[in-house]
Amino acid sequence: MDRDKILLTPGPLTTTQRTKLAMLKDWGSWDSDFIAVTARVRHGLLDVIQGQASHVVVPLQGSGTFSVEAAVATLVPRDGHVLVLDNGAYCKRAARLTTLMGRRCTVLGFDEAAQVSAAALHDALQADPTITHVVLVHCETGAGVLNPLQQVADVCAAHGKGLIVDAMSSFAALEIDARKIRFDALVAASGKCLEGVPGMGFVFIRKAILDACAGRSQSLAMDLYDQHSYMEKTGQWRFTPPTHVVVALAEALLQFQEEGGQPARLARYTRNYQTLIHGMAQLGFMPFLEPAVQAPIIVTFHAPGDPRYEFRAFYEAVRARGFVLYPGKLTQIETFRVGCIGAIGPDEMEQAVHAVALALQDLGIESGAPAV
């Protein structure tokens, strides 16, 4: 197969030829042309959430998790108390990094097949007034659950608590409007639904709380307040930026706007999701989640019940036909995941389903149906 393998994962993603070509030029980090690209990217990111009036955006080198950690360390006072709403693996990661940052952390647990509850959050905040901040993972891609951002934000606002949102897998696909949703920080990354390449995160911080963040971070490299201050003064990154990642994201943002922005991207990903669900159902596969809580980002499927099924062999058989799947993230049952995002459409999803069908034939498995 001549083309690159299609990545059916929650990131990195399949990117367009235009995005790849943007990385063929070398850039000086202090050069005026690169400073202009950084400014254009920051402005474009704020436009995605209608946040020009209310928020600043702070880019940061590294994966998205770097930026989540930086957001917690920068926004939460050393004596702060963070409540993490936990319905999956990435929520647990947020709780762990909060603890490692030396902040007090409490976890409010939910079933990994269910949304977190705004009502339960309300009760928790009433019961413990020492809580200063809440962390929510908008789309928990451990299973694919879409959590109720608006309701959680409303409860945090009513109680006067800071909200830090991990929007890694939802930003630019699902609607997030800073004029309607109150959050102190929202974190995303270049290699997700904007369809750039990995290597850069970014954090939207509410302007009203920015000054209070000075001196809170115990990290030099991950201090978002200092990063923002330096960028505002110089237009430059404090330390060597991921230049090729930034210019690829600038090109990806341009394509995002040309496509029609967030509504158009959501529509394409929804068509991908529908094509996937329909095709996999015909092969006997069962999604792990109920449709009411499923985001059209990544779908977790039960593993086939056939004793001949083994994920590594199944993965390799699908990969040989040009598609890369993702292992399951759940601890209790065996699953695998298929992403619906990236520079792909329903045609590629149909081809992926066909590759899965052929992989089952290779393994002698008649149906993808789970064990009863």
Rg (CA), the chain: 21
Q: Is the peptide bond before 12 cis (omega within 30 degrees of 0)?
A: yes
Query: Do 207 and 272 fall within a single domain?
Result: no
Give the span between the Cα atoms of 134 and 127, in whole angstroms: 14
What sign has the CA pseudo-torsion 335, 200, 71, 253? Answer: negative
Identify the pLDDT of residue 330.
Answer: 79
Average pLDDT over residues 208-222: 97
Give the span between the Cα atoms of 289 and 84, in whole angstroms: 22
CATH of the domain at 223: 3.40.640.10
Cα dist. 276→51, 63, 251, 273 in Å?
33, 28, 28, 5
pLDDT, tens digit (0-9, with 9 covering 90-100), for 102-125: 999 999 999 999 999 999 999 999
pLDDT, tens digit (0-9, with 9 covering 90-100), for 252-303: 999 999 999 999 999 999 999 999 999 999 999 999 999 999 999 999 999 9
pLDDT, tens digit (0-9, with 9 covering 90-100), for 124-183: 999 999 999 999 999 999 999 999 999 999 999 999 999 999 999 999 999 999 999 999
- What's the pTM? 0.97
Query: Do 31 and 91 fall within a single domain?
Result: yes
* DSSP at 250: H
**CB neighbours of 135 closer than 8 A, spacing ≥ 6?**
72, 82, 83, 84, 85, 91, 94, 95, 98, 164, 165, 166
For residue 219 the two structure tokens come to 């990290």
Does the pLDDT value for residue 2 go beyond 60?
Answer: no
Identify the pLDDT of residue 332.
Answer: 77
Residues of the domain holding 110: 18-258
Query: Do 279 and 266 fall within a single domain?
Result: yes
Identify the pLDDT of residue 1.
Answer: 39
Identify the pLDDT of residue 247.
Answer: 98
Final residue of a structural domain among 258, 287, 314 = 258
Total number of domains constituting the chain: 2
Query: Do 98 and 142 fall within a single domain?
Result: yes
Query: Do 228 and 275 fall within a single domain?
Result: no
Q: How many CA atoms lie within 13 A of 21 on its CB side?
A: 3
Query: Do 251 and 272 fall within a single domain?
Result: no
Give the span between the Cα atoms of 210 and 224, in whole angstroms: 10
For residue 201, what are the β-bridge partners? 60, 189
User: Does the residue 1 lie in any domain?
Assistant: no
User: Does the residue 370 lie in any domain?
Assistant: no
Final residue of a structural domain among 258, 280, 296 = 258
Q: What is the pLDDT confidence band of residue 331, given thresholds at 50, 70 and 90?
A: low
Average pLDDT over residues 210-223: 97
Give the span between the Cα atoms of 89 and 131, in whole angstroms: 22
Q: What is the pLDDT confidence band of residue 11, given thresholds at 50, 70 and 90?
A: confident
